[in-house]
Structure 1
Amino acid sequence: MLLTRDSLPDTISDIAALDDLLCRPSQALVDDLRKVDGDIMILGVAGKMGPTLAGLAKATLPDRRVIGVARFSDGRARAWLDARGIETIACDLLDETAIEALPKVQNIVFMAGRKFGAEGGLSLTWAMNTHVPALIAQAFWESRIVAFSTGCVYPFVPVTGKGADESVPPNPPGEYAQSCVGRERMFEYFSRKFATPGRLFRLNYAIDMRYGVLHDIATKILGGKPIDVSLGHVNFIWQGDASAQALRCLAHCDRPTSPINVSGQDILAVRDLAEKLGARLARKPTIVGTEEPTAWVTDTSQAVSLFGPPVVDTEQLIAWTADWVARSMPSLGKPTKYEVRDGRY
């Protein structure tokens, strides 16, 4: 069954139902990927979002090879992918020889990188976020490359506007975000050198029921913990929509590669989100702090013009999250740290 707004469930019963929903393609995704020749290889597939993207790609293109590459230090991700017909290759992307041995496919989605714990080992953060992209960009110069980046490459912008669009020069706080600028510059440099088509996928907060800004807020409400609204505005997108837009970017690559912002259309107040979640959870949220006039928010007009609005809207995400958290369903245990303003993760 194809994904449409009318087909969305009222509740997501369990992880299996969540995975099935995340990996359900829309007609628009089917149409765009039919324009793209060749197989798809996803580098860094074992992260939070990688299995969703790989599963969605395979569900959309069941007759093509979808290859997932990672170290696979946790075997569960590999088993999940294998069960869905996705080829898996164990590879350390810091090993140039191992990279050269990977199959040369026409479509690369680059998802490798380091964020969580970035401040604990900054040299590794820079190596993963800048050195590895340089290796990949050279090894796959004849492929299309959609490279995951982040809205954190932008400076903070006023929350009264539309957010930072792609014309705003990167100028972020903190070494993690600076290393993400470095990642983009490596792909941009080699795209210019080799005329490699690509996109720099600047994503703000892909969420599912086990992770994300809404999950962070909802769990704090249930736990009676204060919600700091100093960084008081965010935008985010359903992980299934983000994965679909990343795959659709393969049909919308530029020479040289160019950035595209991906998130929800609306800039949302954390205070309002807390109130809505609190009403559904029958708990009054404890709000602390005062909203700053700026935040890390992006203008997604370009993505909307290419792909249309996300299938899953904010109100649906609030309803699903409150229901999931109220039932004490599983969490990935990885806070987004959306409230951080100094770039230290």
Structure 2
Amino acid sequence: MSTVITPSTTPAHAPADEAELDELLSRPLPGVGEALAALEGDIVLLGAGGKIGPTMSLMARRALDEVGSDARVIAVSRFSDPASRTLLEDAGIVVHPADLTRSESYADLPDAAGMFYLAAMKFGTTGLEHQTWWSNAAMPALVADRYRGVPSLVYSTGNVYPLSPLGTGGSTEADEPAPVGEYAQSCLARERLFSYASHTWDTPVSIFRLNYACELRYGVIADIATKIAAGEPVDVTMPAVNVAWQGDINAWALRSIELAGTPPRILNATGPETVSVRRLAHWLGEEMGIAPKIVGEESPDALLNDAAEIHELYGYPSVPLRRLVRWVGQWVGGGGRQLGKATKFQQREGKF
């Protein structure tokens, strides 16, 4: 059995390479295996070839192995990156290539006892609004129809909330959505479609509103570190963010399927701190030995998420914020690879 990650067991220094990084990101936290085994059957992850899907799939496989379950983990994606497919296959995960934008792909999708929906379009949505709505609203309708009655964990985003005044602590699950821009609007449409499935077909659903997952190759902290390393200015107009280690996000998402219900259960997912973008830049600059260039003036509000409910359920992140910042600074400062998928967290008008 692998070592559980806790604040006292995570290393002080960043992982040495991507293999070590992926091992940390996919190391199961307590309760993950039990939650998945309770489904009593295979699980399928749709959109498993993206930023989060590979390590989430790996964690699911490792967690099921730890509790002695032979349920299959099935990863569905176009797998445009062959390396992701190889990584998953080598770990014993069943790979099912499929293009979910094509309706003819759905008849062949595997049956499952639990479904995790990760597919979405965010980057490059401005100018391609038609693709955005197809990916974020039409595809969920096809998926919800295919997996009627199957417990489902649906990834969403904190972008469905409006900007919050800095002193309020961020939006809670009880707050009404007020999405800004077509990306966020299409994400709320995705939620509504799965809610329709929950009410109409008794599909147990859990909606996972995330912002922001961070690892060393992408995420808000890596975005800031990359700018500092390149000598580019860091804009602090978006004054603050919430972030959490992607390994914790993986574990919380996998466990959250146990909360799926009718009507859907909504959970915010992020770290407990409201952290200043300026402070992140200075912490990273200290770690990298580069004085950050700051531009802009802090606005009085930001896209902020209050995730107190998920912390009460599953605990605080196993990798504390300051350590995560240190890891990112060491990784980026040492020339570690980036995925080239900026979060665009600075965007205040919802245009991605």
TM-score (norm 2): 0.95
Q: How does 1:95-244 map to 2 (within 5 A)?
A: 95-244=102-251
CA displacement at 1:320 relative to structure 2: 0.5
Q: How does 1:51-130 map to 2 (within 5 A)?
A: 51-62=54-65, 63-130=70-137
Supply the AA of the counterpart residue of 1:3: V
2:11 to 3, 9, 12: 9
Partner of 1:339: 346
Supply the AA of the counterpart residue of 1:188: S
Partner of 2:301: 294
Note the alpha carbon deviations across 1:161-218, whole angstroms, 9 max, x for none: 1100011111121111110011111001111101111111101011110001111111
- Answer yes or no: is the 8 Å Cα contact 2:47–2:118 preserved in 1: yes
SS at match of 1:13: coil
State the aligned residue count.
345
Partner of 1:26: 29
CA displacement at 1:275 relative to structure 2: 1.1
Supply the AA of the counterpart residue of 1:18: L
- Answer yes or no: is the 8 Å Cα contact 1:2–1:26 preserved in 2: no
Structure 1, unpaired ranges of 5+: none
CA displacement at 1:29 relative to structure 2: 2.1
CA displacement at 1:48 relative to structure 2: 0.7
Q: Identity of aligned pairs, percent? A: 40
Note the alpha carbon deviations across 1:20-78, whole angstroms, 9 max, x for none: 11111122323433433221100000111100110000010132200000112232221
C-alpha distance in 1 between matches for 2:31 and 2:72: 20
SS at match of 1:55: helix
CA displacement at 1:96 relative to structure 2: 2.9
SS at match of 2:153: strand
C-alpha distance in 1 between matches for 2:141 and 2:52: 22
- Answer yes or no: is the 8 Å Cα contact 1:3–1:26 preserved in 2: yes
2:50 to 21, 33, 47: 47
Partner of 1:277: 284
Structure 2, unpaired ranges of 5+: none
C-alpha distance in 1 between matches for 2:30 and 2:252: 12
C-alpha distance in 2 between matches for 1:165 and 1:2: 33
- Answer yes or no: is the 8 Å Cα contact 1:106–1:142 preserved in 2: no
- Answer yes or no: is the 8 Å Cα contact 2:33–2:60 preserved in 1: no
SS at match of 1:189: helix
- Bigger drift between 85-94 and 127-136 goes to 85-94
CA displacement at 1:276 relative to structure 2: 1.1
Note the alpha carbon deviations across 1:93-131, whole angstroms, 9 max, x for none: 133332122122110000011011111311111001001
Supply the AA of the counterpart residue of 1:48: K
SS at match of 1:310: coil
C-alpha distance in 1 between matches for 2:89 and 2:33: 22
Note the alpha carbon deviations across 1:272-309, whole angstroms, 9 max, x for none: 11111111112211111111111111000111111111
C-alpha distance in 2 between matches for 1:110 and 1:249: 12
SS at match of 2:126: helix
C-alpha distance in 2 between matches for 1:303 and 1:216: 26
- Bigger drift between 215-224 and 175-184 goes to 215-224
SS at match of 2:96: strand
- Bigger drift between 46-55 and 246-255 goes to 246-255
C-alpha distance in 2 between matches for 1:28 and 1:187: 26
SS at match of 1:160: helix
- Bigger drift between 332-341 and 275-284 goes to 275-284
- Answer yes or no: is the 8 Å Cα contact 1:146–1:199 preserved in 2: yes
TM-score (norm 1): 0.97
Supply the AA of the counterpart residue of 1:219: T
SS at match of 2:122: coil
Note the alpha carbon deviations across 1:250-269, whole angstroms, 9 max, x for none: 11112121211000011111
- Answer yes or no: is the 8 Å Cα contact 2:46–2:115 preserved in 1: yes
Partner of 2:336: 329
SS at match of 2:167: coil
